[in-house]
Amino acid sequence: MLLSMTGFGRGETVGPDGSKIAVQISSVNRKQLEIRFSMPPDLAALEIVGRKMVSGAISRGSVQVRCSISCPAESHSNSGVNTVLLDELIRESRAARVRANLSAEVAVEALFAVPGVLELQAAEKDISVWEKSFSAALSAALCDFRNMRSTEGESLRIDLLERVQKLENWHRELAEMTSSYPEMAKKRIMERLAAEKLPVTSDDPALMREVLFYVDKGDVTEELTRLESHFRQFRAFLDSGEPVGRNMDFLAQEIFREITTLGNKAAVSGASPLVVAFKAEMEKIREQIQNIE
């Protein structure tokens, strides 16, 4: 199955002290794998574990992993007050009230809501104990993340199947259009030489070598054969269970190169519009492939 490089997943679990650990994973397109972590300070040491798990599940893309902890009140061993900050806030509050011709009384308890005044001291966490909980939350997030990428990947697969079918239809038209070219070109050359009243015969080896050389310059049989092979490989990639984004990107470049060569060589009227349509559709395919892992 195809997997999209864009996705989102979330997982939660309960830590040893009853707090909730939440992990979120999101990703966007990128040629290589890039992983960024945002961890609570107490669990920062678990980033190594997280990177190993993520890199084992994702082959490429720009991945952001965020972990948060919601601690219950009883998990805090003690609390303290930043008296220096509190005293400064009280002085500034009194000065402001005096300037505004108000009473100098300050509701000190209201200042405890200011960030940094009340300092909760959480109990130090044993990383070895918390690793299991963190890994469980990350595993759940990766599972949710994969499900979303799989759903989007299936949509991409259906879209690409429709587009490659168009290419195959145009390929058949080009094959039919150019199949009679060698004989027609040879006949046209011989008729032209006869019209010029040049002494030529069809059993002249030197002449036939020159004629065949000229005819071969406009023969696109090899390009059509390679394109057919590329289409089979393209469909095989769409049904693969492995990350195939890079391979499909390379194959799309090869297909584009073959149709460009074919367009330059084909000496048949009517081929040019099909080649132009083919190239336009290939550009759309190449854009879609950038979304595949």
- CB of 176 closer than 8 Å to CB of 59: no
* Mean local confidence (pLDDT), 164-175: 95
DSSP symbols for 248-283: HHHHHHHHHHHHHHHHHH--STTHHHHHHHHHHHHH
For the ranges 59-68, 76-85, 181-190, 236-245, which has the lowest average pLDDT? 181-190
First to last CA, the chain: 11
pLDDT, tens digit, 9 for 90 and up, residues 27-48: 999 989 999 999 988 899 999 9
pLDDT in the model for residue 45: 92
pLDDT in the model for residue 198: 65
pLDDT in the model for residue 70: 85
> What average pLDDT is seen over the chain?
85
**Phi, psi of 240, rounded to the nearest 5 degrees:** -75, 150
For the ranges 26-30, 93-97, 232-236, 241-245, which has the lowest average pLDDT? 93-97
